[in-house]
Amino acid sequence: MPVRPRIVFVNRWVPLFPEDLVRQHWGHLEADLVLCHSQDPDELAAAIAPATALVMAWNKTLIDERILAESPRLRLIQKLSAAFEDIDVAAATARGIVCCQNAGTNAPAVAEHVVMVTLAQRRRLVPGHIGVTAGRWEPIEMMAAGLHELGGATVGLIGFGQIGQAIAERLQGFGVHLLVAQRRPVAPALIDRYRLTQLPLDDLLAASNVVSVQVPLTRETTGLLDARRLALLPDGATLINVARGQVVAHGPLLAELQRGRIQACLDVFDAEPVDPQDPLLHLPNVLLTPHLAGLTHEVRERVLALAGRNLAKMLAGDTDFEGRIHL
């Protein structure tokens, strides 16, 4: 008798992906669905060993050669997030295992977050709220400290994949000057559509009032914005990071912020959760959120649906996967 396919969902965030919702999306598939909540490496390896497909949300344990070697039936690894640094993709690919990520399902949410924090920081929304709730009424003082419209500002986008393009789409009505830096040339159709200019990274940093970072974490992007590059930002510029904390060098960023030269809106950090002793938490020129830019109910529905489509394709022998990771 043929062995029935098994889908193992490693889910350390049960409140985000409750079992009834997962089964609502994938329960119709001709496979056994097993939910694993452990992050213990040995328990995780034992749970994955009989899997035909592995689905992961945000995992703390690296799916490495040891785990892959003990999982001879594994054919698909599906991430529900965009990041895949918790998978040894090269080792998996060498074994014929297809690796996929969320294929931009979170792009609308992240783009809205970038626009939201840009407006909030330029109009000093959080300090204004805190001041009123503390009994202060300081519109003139806040104006003197700097209140700026987004219209007419120069916005630089580092990375112009699905998230970068979604940000550009949402900025169209604000009358900004849009700059883009990425390794590949931007397609002429996108340049025309968004009326943007592609520049080298250093030139973009020096020319932008607002810079948003949305690149994957790779060997090349780790420490991409170092002390030299951060110093290129104009006085009063706002740096937004919705990529990964390690893309921006923490020490140099902290130094620039402590001098009060720039502002920052950070959704990602070197260590998560942030160390309570980190001086970053006590600066007046930062707006901090707990890695939630891509977390909405709508994203959750889209990513579960996408994973379901890829799982169905794997079971049917189809290889046209969405969000396939190519090294």
- Report the alpha-carbon distance of residue 188 to residue 236 in Å, rounded: 32
Give strand pairing partners of 54: 8, 77
- Report the alpha-carbon distance of residue 253 to residue 297 in Å, rounded: 32
- Report the alpha-carbon distance of residue 322 to residue 82 in Å, rounded: 12
Give strand pairing partners of 8: 34, 54
Q: Which residues contact residue 247 at a Cβ distance below 8 angstroms, ignoring those fewer than 6 apart? A: 213, 215, 217, 221, 222, 223, 224, 225, 241
CA 167 to chain centre: 13
The set of catalytic residues is 244, 272, 291
Q: Which residues contact residue 215 at a Cβ distance below 8 angstroms, ignoring those fewer than 6 apart? A: 158, 159, 182, 221, 224, 243, 247
Question: Which residue matches tokens 């998996």?
Answer: 92
- Report the alpha-carbon distance of residue 309 to residue 321 in Å, rounded: 8
